[in-house]
Amino acid sequence: MSHDHDDHDHDDHDHRPPQPDDPVSRYEALEQALRELLIEKGVVTADGLRRTMEVLESASPENGARIVARAWSDPAFKELLLQDGQAAVASLGMGPTGRFVVVENTPERHNVIVCTLCSCYPRFVLGFPPAWYKSRDYRARVVHEPRAVLAEFGLKLSDDTEVVVSDSTAEIRYMVLPQQPPETKGWPEEKLAGLITRDCLIGTAVARA
């Protein structure tokens, strides 16, 4: 990777991204030792770990988009989703998710998700969180000045809108059910799903046609 460094000098390291066969770092060595011990002691199996990684890496915001598109199209599904998120998601063949709660945006209320203590995120549905979601800046600020943070994402909310921040402090994972743009009523689910981005599911954006 090459770029100019006119403003600062750092011969002590390069900016090459880590390569798969680089020498192991301290933390990689620690992870490897721990993993081998857990397998050796029968706490987990290598195949179990592999399968978990496979599920995590195949999860993506597209799952969330499918869930939302179904909820917009099917009132009974929407009711189940808001009452019992994990059952609703299982009925679409996704999961298991652990305890999964979906919070609904309405004309009066806007929801946004954070984990102030670490980076809890519904990974089994949406995959890995974006880097900013794990940043201290987002985590500290969105609970204290959500409107300012959302404005930085380009989302200006009216003073009349109630802002609800959900802090994922325990084992419950959250997803936002965005509002359906009114002009998309009656669209097929596949087309609706195309409107729903990852940020809509975290609450830092709204769905637009």
- When the beta carbons of 31 and 162 are compared against another protein, the nearer one is 162
Find residue 162's DSSP bridge partners.
109
């949406």: which residue's tokens? 126
Judge contact between 95 and 123, C-beta under 8 A. no
In the set 58, 115, 135, 158, the catalytic residue is 115
Whole-number minimum distance, CB 139 to another protein, in Å?
10
Segment lying near another protein (by CB under 8 A), choices 46-54, 125-133, 144-152, 198-206:
144-152
Beta pairing class for 162-167 and 173-177: unpaired
Residues 154-193 binding another protein (CB under 8 A) are 159-172
Separation of alpha carbons 119 and 136, rounded Å: 10
Whole-number minimum distance, CB 209 to another protein, in Å?
27
**Could you say whether residue 104 binds another protein (CB under 8 A)?**
no
Separation of alpha carbons 9 and 3, rounded Å: 12
Q: Is 120 a catalytic residue?
A: yes
Interacting residues toward another protein by CB under 8 A = 99, 101, 116-117, 143-148, 159-172
